[in-house]
């Protein structure tokens, strides 16, 4: 599994923000106003990021020999979860960023401030989620073997 690149996450977030902003503007021009982002959204995303970080930390301890009883399948699942968090964080950051941009360009008064702040906190939570995913991916990387012959033997005769 390849490591997730920050550039691809930024591209996903930017494309999502552009598409979501266009959809939100089209809906707004027809009189539809999306519900405000709940204030708790950013906190929930940070909480999920903390759980993913904790799972990744246990894998890191396992790879450093500090936790010998960890199931390797759990470590693999943690790596996949980390990758999913990277992309989910990027998608959510783009979606909530579009809502911030819409609030700043189209709305006025207290509605503007409330919607912009709550969506802005959700953007921060989504960025924390993506960053936690990247960090846990780094925790889950397995160093290459020291002996190239040992590596060929582990892959089997078809890899030669």
Give pLDDT, residue 8.
Answer: 96
Give pLDDT tens digits along the chain (160 positions): 788 999 999 999 999 999 999 999 999 899 888 888 999 999 999 999 999 999 999 999 988 888 778 888 888 999 999 999 999 999 999 999 999 999 888 777 777 778 889 999 999 999 999 999 999 999 988 766 666 665 555 444 544 4
Give pLDDT, residue 111.
Answer: 72
77, part of any domain:
yes
Q: Work out how many domains the chain is built from and give that number.
A: 1
H-helix or E-strand spanning residue 113:
helix 109-139
Q: What's the token pair of residue 109?
A: 């008064």
Give pLDDT, residue 70.
Answer: 82
157, part of any domain:
no
30, part of any domain:
no
C-beta of residue 5 within 8 angstroms of C-beta of residue 134: no
152, part of any domain:
no
150 φ, ψ to 5°?
Answer: -65, -40
74, part of any domain:
yes
Q: Which contacts of 75-81 are long-range, i.e. CB under 8 A and separated by 24 or more positions?
A: 75/140, 78/52, 78/136, 78/140, 79/1, 79/136, 79/137, 79/140, 80/1, 81/52, 81/55, 81/133, 81/136
Q: What's the token pair of residue 134?
A: 């990247």
Please choose, from the candidates 130, 65, 61, the residue with its C-alpha nearest in 3D space to the C-alpha of residue 94: 130
Give pLDDT, residue 148.
Answer: 60
154, part of any domain:
no
Give pLDDT, residue 47.
Answer: 98
Domain that holds residue 54: 6-21+37-143
Please choose, from the candidates 28, 136, 10, 142, the residue with its C-alpha nearest in 3D space to the C-alpha of residue 80: 136
Q: What's the token pair of residue 59?
A: 């894998």
Q: What's the token pair of residue 62?
A: 């396992």
Neighbours of 94 (CB within 10 A): 24
63, part of any domain:
yes
Give pLDDT, residue 100.
Answer: 94
């Amino acid at each position: 599994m390849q490591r997730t690149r920050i550039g691809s996450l930024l591209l996903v977030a930017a494309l999502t923000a552009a598409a979501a902003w266009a959809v939100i503007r089209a809906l707004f021009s027809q009189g539809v106003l999306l519900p405000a982002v709940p204030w708790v959204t950013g906190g929930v995303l940070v909480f999920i990021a903390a759980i993913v970080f904790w799972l990744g930390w246990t894998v890191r301890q396992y790879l450093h020999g500090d936790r010998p009883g960890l199931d390797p399948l759990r470590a693999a699942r943690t790596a996949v979860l980390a990758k999913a968090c990277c992309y989910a964080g990027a998608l959510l950051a783009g979606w909530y960023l579009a809502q911030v941009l819409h609030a700043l360009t189209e709305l006025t008064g207290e509605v503007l401030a409330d919607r912009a702040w709550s969506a802005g906190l959700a953007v921060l939570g989504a960025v924390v989620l993506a960053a936690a995913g990247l960090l846990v991916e780094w925790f889950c990387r397995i160093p290459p073997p020291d002996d190239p012959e040992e590596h060929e033997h582990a892959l089997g005769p078809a890899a030669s």
